[in-house]
Amino acid sequence: MKIEQYKLLEKSLLKDFINSLIPIANVYAPVSKGFNNYVFQNIKSADEVSIKYIPTIIPPKKFFLPKKENILQFFIEDELKVEPVTEYENLIIFGVHTCDIAGIKCLNMVLSDKPKDTAYLIRKKHVTIIGIECNDYCDEYASCSFVGAHMPTTGYDLMFTELSEYFIVHIHSSKGMDIIEKTDIFKDASIAQLEELKILRNNKMKIFNNEIPTERRYLPDLFDRSFNANVWKELEQKCLSCGNCTAVCPTCYCFDIKEEVDLTLKAGERYRVWFSCQLDPFAKVAGGHDFRKERSARQRHRFYRKFRYHIDRYGMVFCTGCGRCSRTCMAKINLKEVLTSLIRESEAKIWRKWL
Amino acid sequence: MAKVVIKDSPYNLKKAKILDVKTLTEKEKLFKLVFEDKTWLDFEPGQFIMVSLMGIGEIPVSICSSPLNRHYFEICVRAVGKVTNSLHKLKAGDIIGVRGPYGNGFPIKSLEGHDLLIIAGGLGIAPLRSLILYSIDNRRDFGEIHILFGCKTPGELLFEDEIEEWSKRLDIHFACTVDRADPDWKGNVGLITSLIPGVDIDPLRTYAAVVGPPVMYKFVIKELLAKGLPVDQILLSFERHMKCGMGKCGRCQIQNLYCCKDGPVFTFKEIMDMAEAL
Ligand SMILES: Cc1cc2nc3c(=O)[nH]c(=O)nc-3n(C[C@H](O)[C@H](O)[C@H](O)COP(=O)(O)OP(=O)(O)OC[C@H]3O[C@@H](n4cnc5c(N)ncnc54)[C@H](O)[C@@H]3O)c2cc1C
Ligand code: SF4
Ligand code: SF4
Ligand code: FES
């Protein structure tokens, strides 16, 4: 910890800080919608913001990979003209939890892999991420500690952590520094607060217990043994194939590509739009055959994409433990329970071999 | 929101001009294409391109000409739906959008020095024609070349002129069969699998390249294994729905493999234990 990278903010000044961002860029922050629902929304005043919130309905992926996004526009005049396009805005997302920062890191990994997704990279460059550290669990659905997303590491410009007297702010980029320097409300941090931060983090290790009865490093092995597990068959009976779990997931990025022609029939757009492996035509091929017809196969695919396939391809677990999929599921399919059942089933099989 | 034009977008299209359209059968047409900017499509046999008709859609299509042909490239398209039917309405001089090439084609470098057993079912001849033309252009780099071609009826036989020529060549063993004959048909009748036991190959020296409708694979592979071909010398090209062609949209995923990026050509070894593959 380099002390120069840390600043202090009086707790009572947090609103002043948020208000100081509004002239700089479009600011998005968690806003309560009632019934314990929160949304990252454009704010005009700090009064709208919920500093304490459980993960928003839709994660910040919507700023990086919008639900619907034009990728090409075309004009048919004397001759065909095609222009690849993208839209972006300078924006600051305030109050991002570490799980959602982990989600953005997953998207970065995929979309900056070759061939690079230029539109994504342009948009990403114009986003400033200001995090807020969770000192305790948001609710019982979270499994962020299992995947190691409960502690701030990288992926943000500024990170706010609440101490007893102050917010301590970690400045992680020059973009973050510029924002801090725009106001005079920050104080220098001293050794005492850095000590307090260390103690807080140590305490967090006790509060955030691994939520799943295995370790992350055993995931490949667990999943390699579980392709034909009964757990998937049980999901067949429950899942409604609504696709909500993938829409709200910060690391789900599958999309469809479609197009629209305007009324003149001389111009139009090609766009990409979120799609889901849980929905019907996703894995259909010519001739009508569907390689993942059963809902169990689709759910299995979802879990393997989170916990197995991308470990080989990108070296990362593609679950941030945010708990959104479990919170949103009408059929009450719970990620922590599914993983726990998989472990139990796989252990039972191993024991049987020894008996 | 600011809007920018991003020329280096991976979704950008190159304009290709149709030089010629040839009707091959009732359902298939062959399109001869060149890029308007006179650049050359640099590809490997077995790779595909994304073909665009603006306002209608974009589809994956195999390149069916020889990669050594620097004058034009060709695609053979079967009219099955929206984009393919619209393509069939186009004429010489019309412009389409193209991006690519994409995917892993046939591993030419591994194939060289070996015998080839090329097995095409129906439209599967399209990507394989590229391999056949390549191996003819580089004939001395390959050992024996066997081509087995099957389709439902004689009327569905693609590239008839070329087949005639291949069957006359002394340096190629060519056999063809139809599921159902018509009165004029003088060749073999029966499924393509019936031709396999008869081909005279040294299985350890031979690479088989198989492309056809999904139902064909299981039966053909069984015959090839019975002949003693090693699992990593059986090459298959897979078809999935594809939207991006770049391993992003997730549409073509077969477990941990992206058909568009890791394939479409896979060795049987890579996928033999994989549910959802065949
Ligand atoms: C790697 C690859 C190579 C191919 N090579 C050729 C070729 O050389 N010649 C040829 O005629 N066809 C080829 N195809 C198939 C071709 O892409 C589809 O026939 C085409 O996409 C159908 O589009 P459509 O708009 O005409 O049909 P639609 O009206 O969209 O649908 C008709 C049928 O085509 C299937 N289909 C639709 N979109 C796609 C898509 N994006 N990818 C795959 N299947 C789709 C649908 O499942 C449906 O059964 C290839 C497909 C792949 C994946
Ligand atoms: S798991 Fe739940 S949220 Fe996901 S598709 Fe099934 S019913 Fe919908
Ligand atoms: S799988 Fe569920 S818990 Fe994991 S990142 Fe996606 S929504 Fe969050
Ligand atoms: S076509 Fe998009 S991932 Fe393969």
3-state secondary structure of A188: strand
Domain ranges of chain B: 14-102, 108-237
Contact A308/B at CB under 8 A: yes
> Do B54 and A80 count as a contact with CB atoms less than 8 A apart?
yes
Residue A276 has pLDDT above 80, yes or no: yes
Contact A82/B at CB under 8 A: yes
Average pLDDT over residues B248-274: 95
Q: Which residues of B touch A (CB under 8 A)?
A: 1-13, 15, 52, 54-58, 80, 95, 97, 213-214, 239-241, 243-244, 246-251, 253-256, 275-276
Q: How confident is the model at residue A264 (pLDDT cuts 50, 70, 90)?
A: confident
Q: Which CATH architecture has domain B14-102?
A: Beta Barrel (2.40)
In angstroms, what separates the C-alpha of B253 from chain A's closest C-alpha? 8
**Contact call for residues A99 and A320 (beta carbons, < 8 A):** yes
B216 closest CA partner among B242, B191, B190, B239 = B191
In angstroms, what separates the C-alpha of B153 from chain A's closest C-alpha? 19
B36 closest CA partner among B52, B18, B54, B22 = B18
Tell me, what's the pLDDT at B63?
98
CA B230 to ligand 4 centroid distance, Å? 29
**SS3 labels along B32-84:** EEEECCCCCCCCCCCCEEEEEECCCEEEEEECCCCCCCCCCEEEEEECCCHHH
**For B154-167, how does the pLDDT look when each residue is reduced to its tens digit (9 = 90+)?**
888 899 999 999 99
> Do B11 and A76 count as a contact with CB atoms less than 8 A apart?
no
Q: Which ligand is nearest to the CA of A278?
A: 2
Complex-level ipTM beyond the 0.90 threshold = yes
**Contact call for residues B100 and B47 (beta carbons, < 8 A):** yes
Tell me, what's the pLDDT at B80?
93
Euclidean distance between CA atoms B133 and B207, whole angstroms: 16
Tell me, what's the pLDDT at A355?
60
**What number does CATH give the domain B108-237?**
3.40.50.80
3-state secondary structure of A148: coil
Element (H, E) at A100: helix A98-111
pTM, two decimals, is 0.94
CA torsion, ordered A294, A300, A302, A307, to nearest 10 deg: -170
Quick one: closest CA in B to A107, which residue? B248
| B152 phi and psi angles, rounded to 5 deg | -70, -50
Domain ranges of chain A: 3-207, 216-354
Q: How confident is the model at residue A300 (pLDDT cuts 50, 70, 90)?
A: very high
Q: Which ligand is nearest to the CA of A110?
A: 4
Contacts of A304 (CB under 8 A, 6+ apart): A223, A227, B255, B256
Tell me, what's the pLDDT at A336?
96
Residues in chain A: 355
Tell me, what's the pLDDT at A354?
64
CA B11 to ligand 1 centroid distance, Å? 18
Q: To the nearest whole number, what is the mean pLDDT of chain B? A: 94
Atom 27 of ligand 1, nearest CA residue: B81
In percent, how much of chain A has pLDDT > 90? 86
In percent, how much of chain A has pLDDT > 70? 99
